[in-house]
């Protein structure tokens, strides 16, 4: 069994073929997926997917790459997270690659998410790009470790991974780990403790080799797990079991076995 810990099933490219995507999940033994929000506007779509499909979960949050989304209120996040299918807060974090200038609003938004996660006891899905030092600083200042969570689509150095691990966070690897030029990321993937590793697609983006450039989908997380297996000397089934256990434990999901029966 495998779990895709981060996808965007409601995005163009996937939204009109959700049933096909679920079929490929079954073919590739991907039992569950977490569909991640990027704005509060599209959150109802994400929640609707999780309400409709017993093996799809939802998160609520506003991505740092959406400057027009405005101020995100902690109270609103807490209220929206109060739903049995919403298992996480995010994605949130800092991105100094896509946006430049005064990004204090990004840090304020990130802080609101961390406070909301601590209040509702749900873990954080953290996006960080070209902003590792500030991401870790804000995480420490806001005691993000109390909520826990995952550094998603990880592309940073071992030092950043170790700092996040020290805060109690998990590290999630995407299809990037299969890319030819990702040697240093593969070195990180060899070192993260097995009880802290997750796998994800971030679909519809970042399709793994040999599908690079195509529309990604949750079923292709199998190729990410195969690469982690190669790096760690494990069979894909073992990687699947370990990363699925980590996923259900981190997101506090206890009824997943029943859902697979459906
Ligand atoms: Zn992201
Ligand atoms: Zn994402």
Spatial contact of 35 and 58, defined as CB atoms under 8 Å apart: yes
Rounded distance between C-alpha atoms, residue 23 and residue 205, angstroms: 19
Spatial contact of 211 and 218, defined as CB atoms under 8 Å apart: no
Q: Which tokens in the block code for residue 114?
A: 């961390």
Cα 261 to averaged position of ligand 1 atoms, centre (Å): 31
Helices (H) and strands (E) in the chain, counts: 10, 8
Tell the residue number behind the tokens 């991105």, with chain if given: 95
Rounded distance between C-alpha atoms, residue 145 and residue 124, angstroms: 9
Cα 142 to averaged position of ligand 2 atoms, centre (Å): 22
Consecutive H or E run containing 48: helix 43-52
Query: Which ligand has the minimum distance to the alpha carbon of residue 5?
Result: 2
Query: Which ligand has the minimum distance to the alpha carbon of residue 37?
Result: 2
Query: Which ligand has the minimum distance to the alpha carbon of residue 129?
Result: 1
Q: CA-CA distances (angstroms) from residue 66 to 16, 72, 166, 239?
A: 23, 11, 29, 34
Please check the confidence at residue 261 and state whether its pLDDT lies above 70: no
Cα 38 to averaged position of ligand 1 atoms, centre (Å): 9
- How confident is the model over 12-21, as a mean pLDDT? 96
For the chain, how far is it from start to end, CA to CA, in angstroms? 15
Cα 128 to averaged position of ligand 1 atoms, centre (Å): 7
In percent, the amount of the chain with pLDDT more than 70 equals: 98
Q: Give pLDDT tens digits for 153-197.
A: 999 999 999 999 999 999 999 999 999 999 999 999 999 999 999
Edge-to-edge strands, sheet with 170-173? 2-7, 30-35, 56-60, 86-95, 124-129, 149-151, 170-173, 197-199
Cα 258 to averaged position of ligand 1 atoms, centre (Å): 30
Cα 176 to averaged position of ligand 1 atoms, centre (Å): 13
Compute and round to an integer the Cα radius of gyration of the chain: 17
Query: Which ligand has the minimum distance to the alpha carbon of residue 39?
Result: 2
Cα 202 to averaged position of ligand 2 atoms, centre (Å): 5
DSSP bridge pairs for 4: 33
Query: Which ligand has the minimum distance to the alpha carbon of residue 7?
Result: 2
Tell me the pTM: 0.96
DSSP bridge pairs for 59: 88
Q: Give pLDDT tens digits for 52-93.
A: 999 999 999 999 999 999 889 999 999 999 999 999 999 999
Backbone angles phi and psi of 175, in degrees to 5: -60, -15
Cα 202 to averaged position of ligand 1 atoms, centre (Å): 7
Q: Which tokens in the block code for residue 10?
A: 């409601």
Cα 64 to averaged position of ligand 1 atoms, centre (Å): 9
- pLDDT at position 259 is 59
Spatial contact of 152 and 61, defined as CB atoms under 8 Å apart: no
Cα 154 to averaged position of ligand 1 atoms, centre (Å): 9
């Amino acid at each position: 069994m495998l779990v895709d810990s981060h996808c965007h099933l409601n995005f163009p490219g996937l939204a009109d073929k959700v049933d096909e995507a679920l079929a490929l999940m079954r073919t590739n033994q991907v039992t569950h997926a977490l569909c991640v929000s990027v704005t509060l506007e599209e959150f109802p779509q994400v929640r609707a997917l999780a309400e409709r499909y017993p093996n799809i979960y939802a998160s609520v949050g506003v991505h740092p790459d959406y400057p027009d989304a405005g101020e995100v209120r902690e109270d609103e996040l807490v209220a929206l997270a109060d739903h049995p299918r919403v298992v996480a807060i995010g994605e949130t974090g800092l991105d100094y690659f896509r946006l430049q200038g005064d990004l204090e609003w990004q840090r304020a938004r990130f802080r609101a998410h961390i406070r909301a996660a601590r209040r509702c006891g749900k873990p954080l899905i953290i996006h960080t790009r070209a902003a590792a030092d500030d991401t870790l600083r804000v995480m420490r200042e806001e005691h993000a470790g109390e909520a826990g969570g995952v550094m998603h689509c990880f592309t940073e150095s071992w030092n950043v991974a170790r700092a996040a691990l020290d805060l109690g966070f998990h590290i999630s690897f995407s299809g990037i780990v299969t890319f030819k030029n990702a040697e240093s990321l593969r070195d990180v993937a060899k070192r993260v403790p097995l009880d802290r590793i997750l796998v994800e697609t971030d679909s519809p983006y970042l399709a793994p080799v040999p599908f690079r450039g195509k529309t990604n989908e949750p079923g292709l997380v199998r190729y990410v797990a195969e690469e982690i297996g190669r790096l760690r000397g494990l069979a894909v089934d073992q990687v699947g079991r370990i990363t699925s256990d980590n996923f259900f434990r981190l997101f506090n999901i206890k009824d997943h076995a029943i859902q697979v029966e459906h």
